[in-house]
Amino acid sequence: MTDSSFIQAQQRVAARRQAREAEAAARVAAQREASRASARLERLPFPFNRLSPAWNALLSREGTRPAFRVAQVDAELLDEELVVLLKDQVSDALKYFGGGHLHDDWSAEILLALRAILFKLTVWDHDATYGAALQNLRYTDARKHGPVLSPPSRLQKSLYGLVTIFGKYAWTRWEDWLLEQDDGYNQPSPRVRRLSRLTSRLTTIHSTAALASFLVFLLHGRYRTLLDRILRMRLASPTSQVSREVSFEYLNRQLVWHALTEFLLFVLPLIGINKWRRWLGKTWRKTREMMRTGAEGDSSADGEYGFLPERTCGICYQDQNDSATTETQIMAAAASSGVVGSAQTDITNPYETIPCGCIYCFVCLATRLEREEGEGWTCLRCGELVKECKPWSGDVLEPAVTTFRSTSAKTVAFTDDVAGGVLEEEVPQREHVAQEETSAENSAEDFDEGFDEGSDMVDEVSDMGSDIGSDAGD
């Protein structure tokens, strides 16, 4: 060892010695200050001089290491969650018995049995609950001091089980009885009201004491609950080589996944995912058209909905028949209704595309063009690339059709029953209609002939009258 390294080692030893001396001096000063405060408390009158031991206990930091405070609280939460899970399983198993109300009527008894079984299998047999075992903790007797931790006595465990199992059950039943006495319609008896006030006070006192005990637990880390403090039982690690048995792999995986999701949500708008989506869609459509052209040997550029009638909007039809991918499937789906398209797919406010001139609904066409952001949209009828549209300048022409029955009625018949475009059952009806028309024409002719004869008779009578008048004048 060289002289320089030896001198550095001596300096490090001296620094450590000075640090230990400073720590010891600070500890002594704190003890002197605490003793002064304790002496001042002892000089107070009777009710307040009893605060000196509590003050000394509050300032002392004796207890388990601070790392075990979280483990003890986690152990309690795990035990409660285990009881809830078991209760849910038992409730599901009993939901078909007793009219479905068995698990509601006997909920307190079910919890009593579950807590008793868990207490026997955990604290009574192994001095640790399942949650404490997962945290590598075990109940010890805090009354005994020594290098080796002592397990709790049978009396401590018996009192612990009596309070945690039967005490909770009795308190639950007591509160249920008080609720049954107050039905909301009649005024409870004075005795019930006094018992209710006493129960409320006891609950408030217990909650306050539990809060104070928990605050002291956060400071010292010795007794997790008020019952543990009364029985002098605490959770501690059985060995100095502490290892957590709870795996945080799932939590880490969730954190990584959420971080990746947020990163993608931030990056994807910058990349322009819509452009890539449109490029992939066009590539797929071109590839499919090339495969279809190669298979059919036809170089026509018809779109996938070129077979639709002109009154049907191809975009509306595509939205309503998105499950059909080929023309055969679309025609098979349309065969069930007898027509291709329906009133829901008819064109509303027609607009035509530029340059192909195919007709679509204005809303459908404008939406598709807006979605493509100026890069063009492939026409569903002819396969042309469309970037603009304009109002349709045409008109709808419907030829007049002479019908012999109401247009609202529909007729379904087989081909064997049709002769010359007319159903066989309609032939007698049409003959009857023809006979009626013939008889109407004959009646009109007879009326015209009778009208002419009547006119001639009126003329003859008028001539005779004029002749008689002239003879009388002569």
Question: How many Å apart are CA 140 and CA 105, to the nearest integer?
Answer: 38
Q: How is domain 314-391 classified at the CATH fold level? A: Herpes Virus-1 (3.30.40)
Question: How many Å apart are CA 133 and CA 127, to the nearest integer?
Answer: 9
Model confidence pLDDT, tens digit, residues 235-292:
888 776 655 555 677 788 888 999 998 988 888 777 766 667 767 777 776 776 677 6
Task: Look at residues 148, 216, 146, 60 and name the one whose alpha carbon lies nearest to residue 138.
Answer: 148
Output the pLDDT for position 412: 43
SS3 145: coil
Hey, what are 184's tokens?
A: 């909301």
Domain map (residue ranges) of the chain: 7-62, 64-236, 248-288, 314-391
Strands 422-423 and 377-378: unpaired
Model confidence pLDDT, tens digit, residues 121-177:
999 998 899 988 888 888 988 888 777 788 899 999 999 999 999 999 999 999 988
Hey, what are 92's tokens?
A: 């599901």
Query: Could you tell me where the DSSP H helices lie in 162-310?
Result: 168-181, 190-220, 226-231, 249-271, 273-296
Q: What is the pLDDT along the chain (474 residues), one digit of tens a residue?
A: 566 777 888 888 888 888 888 888 887 787 777 677 667 766 767 666 666 666 555 555 554 454 578 888 888 999 999 999 999 898 888 888 877 777 778 888 999 999 999 999 999 998 899 988 888 888 988 888 777 788 899 999 999 999 999 999 999 999 988 888 877 677 788 888 899 999 999 999 999 999 999 998 888 888 889 999 999 898 888 776 655 555 677 788 888 999 998 988 888 777 766 667 767 777 776 776 677 665 554 444 466 777 788 788 888 888 777 655 555 555 555 554 444 456 778 888 888 888 888 888 888 888 888 877 767 777 888 878 888 888 887 765 555 555 444 444 444 444 444 455 444 555 555 555 555 555 555 555 555 555 555 566 556 555 655 555 555 454
Task: Look at residues 462, 472, 337, 471 and name the one whose alpha carbon lies nearest to residue 412.
Answer: 337
Output the pLDDT for position 181: 83
Query: Could you tell me where the DSSP H helices lie in 121-167?
Result: 125-126, 130-134, 154-161
Q: 359 near 311, Cβ under 8 Å?
A: no
Question: How many Å apart are CA 66 and CA 80, to the nearest integer?
Answer: 23
Burial of 23 (0-12, 13-18, 19+ CB in 10 A): exposed
Hey, what are 455's tokens?
A: 């006119």
SS3 329: helix
Is the sign of the CA dihedral 260, 262, 265, 267 positive or negative?
negative
Output the pLDDT for position 265: 84
Look-up of token digits 């579950």: 114
Strand pairing partners for 346? 312
0.75 surpassed by pTM: no
Is the sign of the CA dihedral 380, 385, 388, 389 positive or negative?
negative
